Amino acid sequence: MNAFNDLADFSTEEIASLIRLATHLDSNPEPEALRGKVLALLFLSPSLRTLASFQAAMTRLGGGAFVISPDMSIHGIETRPGIVMDGAAAEHIREAVPVIASYGDAIGIRAFAERKNLASDIAETEFNALTDLIDTPYINMESALNHPCQSLADWKTMDDLKIPQHGGKFVLSWAYHPKALPLAVPAATVQMAAMRGMEVTVLRPDGFALPDAVMDKAKDAAASSGGSVVETDERTEAMEGAHVIYAKSWSSTRHYGDRVIDEKARSELRHWCVDDPWFDNAQDDCRFMHCLPVRRGVVVSDRVLDGPRSVVIHEARNRMLAQMAVLHQMLGGRS
């Protein structure tokens, strides 16, 4: 495996194999698998789960990781091509990325969307500009429109909980948040649930539809897997018989990159906070999923998040296990 960039690059059998390996490594530690191997971790955006889970994953497999983030250690980093660097930035990404990659057997990169131009973000212009600089195997730790490690962990979580693939109903719901957030998690999540063969409903208010490119890609995946993908702004309809509600806020796509209009539009949507009544017509054991961090009382009520439906900690722990499987395959673990 030379890149773990998009779940869509893998067959469902390959994904199942990764999940089996993740489960196996949970109960059968392999502290010799990656002896002396190094994972470089480059964060151009903040992190908690990803930062912690990748370091823990490498330690559990007998290797190690190092972390570079602008706050910690970079002298101010320039990303624009062709620029005369006589300002604050002392280093260009064109040197920084290949150098950091050269110290690792693999590199994980996180770079959030610029959120200025939707077409550019959908094309992953910025992330691809980084990975084009290197030959080292790499892992997407969240880009403009993807977060494959989160999706692999979420898929495993649903397997663990025996949530049905075919016939399982998966609701990806927009939720209120005071800030305009990236599309990475919703785009990756709808793709994941579609690939898993589920009946996927994207529930979102007017103005917050996922981009056509994202929906079309998910529908293609559903066509292959025997699932389906629809969207609606009707909550009761969406939640009918749902096995899972996956909540996430994201920025307006109609006014993408316009923070003023986006803020105004979302300010009227504070009632999009997942709470007990949302589950009235769902499956009795309908689960609540979220990638974290989550704002309590804003995205979801305390009683849902603290109640038995919530599997958010389970998802978060699966990040580590899913990434152990990816690293094991990518770095040739001696199993």
To a copy of itself, the closest distance from the beta carbon of 174 in angstroms equals 16
Which CB, 13 or 86, lies closer to a copy of itself? 86
CB atoms within 10 A of CB 8: 18
- Closer residue to a copy of itself (CB): 35 or 259: 35
- 40: buried, middle or exposed (CB in 10 Å: 19+, 13-18, 0-12)? buried
* Tokens 């539809």, located at residue: 209
Least distance (Å) between residue 38 CB and a copy of itself: 5
Q: Supply the angle between the helices 148-160 and 12-27 in degrees, to the nearest 10.
A: 70
307 binds a copy of itself, rule: CB under 8 A: no
CA nearest 292: which of 270, 317, 255?
317
In the complex with a copy of itself, the residue whose CB is nearer, 137 or 227, is 137
Per-residue DSSP letters for 216-227? HHHHHHHHHHT-
Q: Rounded CA gap, 190 and 246, in Å?
A: 10
Q: 102 has which bridge partners?
A: none
Which stretches within 123-173 are classed as H helix? 125-131, 148-160
Ramachandran angles phi, psi of 41, nearest 5° = -120, 115
Question: Rounded to the nearest whole angstrom, what is the least distance from the CB of residue 191 to a copy of itself in the complex?
Answer: 24
Structural tokens at position 245: 């509600």
Site mask for a copy of itself (CB under 8 A), range 121-160, x = bound: ----------------------------------------
Closest CB to a copy of itself among 99 and 213? 99
Instruction: Kindly state whether residue 335 participates in binding a copy of itself, applying the rule CB under 8 A.
Output: no
| Residues in region 68-127 near a copy of itself by CB under 8 A | 68-69, 71-75, 78, 82-87, 90-92, 94-96, 98-100, 102-104
Instruction: Select the residue interacting with a copy of itself from 55, 120, 281, 283 (CB under 8 A).
Output: 55
Residues numbered 177 to 206 that lie near a copy of itself (CB under 8 A) are: 178
Q: Which C-beta is closer to a copy of itself: that of 71 or that of 280?
A: 71
Shortest Cβ 306–a copy of itself spacing (Å)? 8
Contact 164, 243 (CB under 8 A): yes
Q: φ, ψ for residue 283 (rounded to 5)?
A: -55, 150
Separation of alpha carbons 124 and 150, rounded Å? 18
Does 241 help bind a copy of itself (rule: CB under 8 A)? no
Give the nearest distance from C-beta 48 to a copy of itself in angstroms. Answer: 5
Is 313 a residue that touches a copy of itself (CB under 8 A)? yes
61 or 193, CB closer to a copy of itself? 61
- Contact between residue 98 and residue 133 where contact means Cβ atoms under 8 Å apart: yes
Site string for a copy of itself, 11-50 (x = CB under 8 A): ------------------xxxx--xxxx-x-----xxxx-
Residue 48's Cβ-count burial label (10 Å; 0-12, 13-18, 19+) is exposed
Quick one: 137 or 168, whose CB is closer to a copy of itself?
Answer: 137
Q: Which is nearer to a copy of itself, 5 or 310 (CB)?
A: 310
CB of 47 to a copy of itself, least distance (A): 6
CA 283 to chain centre: 25
Rg (CA), the chain: 20
Task: Count Cβ neighbours within 10 Å for each residue of 119-146 and write b for 16 or more, e otherwise.
Answer: eebbebebbeebbebbebbbbbbbbbbb
Residues that bind a copy of itself (CB under 8 A): 29-32, 35-38, 40, 46-49, 51-53, 55-56, 58-66, 68-69, 71-75, 78, 82-87, 90-92, 94-96, 98-100, 102-104, 178, 292-298, 302, 305-306, 312-313, 316-317, 320
